[in-house]
């Protein structure tokens, strides 16, 4: 039996990148998958392609994780289509990078609305059914920014530190209810967003090479590597893991300095 057979999984921000890789891996593991994505084009495309590739039941639900009403509609649509969610992956997020005194109030609120509030809103939407069932898994995709800071990236690491705190606090609250809540902190990952960042550099090839050279393993993380860890945390094989933050960054966070 595949690890997630008969499970219903919601993956936010699954239209591309890490979220899409997780959604595909969950489908391969037998889950019914809801692509909860703000971008209708990428979300619908991801759901269709994953269903065709894996044969799994998938659907796309347009979702703004920062809007409680939108999340409530997504949770209700999941319930109608597949039954209550037994797995939630809070993957949706945005990069908001500034020098602190250059940051506007609007950008502060925008960062926290998606990167921290959005995860809590989604947790709040699915937890009652998980508690009633006495079983469930929630995985928060965080970042190395949840425990270390790069200058010039404010307030993103503040939100990510908060998300790690949310993970640990909720994990203790609901462990006795049979719900395993954990986090994954990826390092620099080879996604379309990363490629777009390199493309903005004066020399994109050099920009990528310099970034890869900073990684102890000499390359960026592959989204499928993160998806593999997410599949484990979503499964009943990892139910004794509570409030942990699995770091998958090629070793960059344990290196002191050059």
Sign of CA dihedral 191, 194, 196, 198: negative
Strand pairing partners for 34? 10, 59
Q: How far apart are CA 42 and CA 35, in angstroms?
A: 10
Half-sphere exposure of 114 (CA within 13 A, CB side): 19
Full strand arrangement of the beta sheet holding 32-37: 58-62, 32-37, 8-12, 87-90, 136-141, 179-186, 245-248
Q: First and final CA of the chain: distance in angstroms?
A: 46
User: Which positions ≥6 away from 258 have C-beta within 8 Å?
Assistant: none
In the structure encoding, which two tokens stand for residue 204, read together? 């994109």
Cα dist. 122→67, 162, 223, 241 in Å?
A: 10, 15, 22, 21
**Cα separation values, 236 from 87, 136, 200, Å:** 11, 9, 43
Active site residue 188: no
- Among candidate residues 156, 188, 222, 257, the one labeled active-site is 156
Could you give the 3-state DSSP secondary structure of residue 28? helix
Contact 2/80 with Cβ under 8 angstroms? no
Contact 111, 159 (CB under 8 A): yes
- Residue 104: both structure tokens together: 């506007």
Catalytic residues: 156
């Amino acid at each position: 039996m595949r690890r997630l057979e008969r499970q219903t999984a919601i993956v936010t921000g699954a239209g591309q990148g890490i979220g899409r890789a997780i959604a595909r891996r969950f489908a391969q593991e037998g889950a019914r998958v809801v692509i909860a994505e703000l971008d209708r084009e990428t979300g619908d495309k991801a759901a269709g392609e994953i269903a065709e590739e894996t044969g799994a039941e998938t659907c796309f639900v347009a979702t703004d994780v920062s809007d409680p009403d939108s999340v409530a509609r997504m949770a209700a649509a999941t319930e109608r289509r597949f039954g209550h969610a037994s797995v939630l992956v809070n993957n949706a997020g945005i990069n908001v990078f500034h020098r602190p005194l250059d940051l506007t109030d609007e950008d502060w609120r925008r960062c926290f609305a998606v990167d921290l509030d959005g995860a809590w809103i989604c947790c709040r939407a699915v937890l009652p059914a998980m508690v009633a069932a006495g079983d469930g898994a929630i995985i928060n995709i965080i970042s190395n920014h949840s425990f270390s800071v790069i200058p010039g990236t404010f307030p993103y690491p503040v939100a990510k530190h908060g998300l790690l705190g949310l993970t640990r606090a909720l994990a203790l609250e609901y462990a006795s209810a049979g719900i395993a809540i954990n986090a994954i902190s990826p390092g620099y990952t080879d996604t379309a967003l990363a490629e777009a960042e390199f493309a903005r550099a004066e020399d994109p090839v050099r920009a990528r090479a310099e970034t890869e050279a900073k990684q102890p393993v000499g390359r960026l993380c592959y989204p499928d590597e993160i998806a593999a860890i997410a599949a484990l945390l979503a499964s009943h094989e990892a139910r004794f893991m509570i409030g942990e933050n699995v770091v998958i960054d090629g070793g960059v966070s344990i290196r002191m300095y050059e």
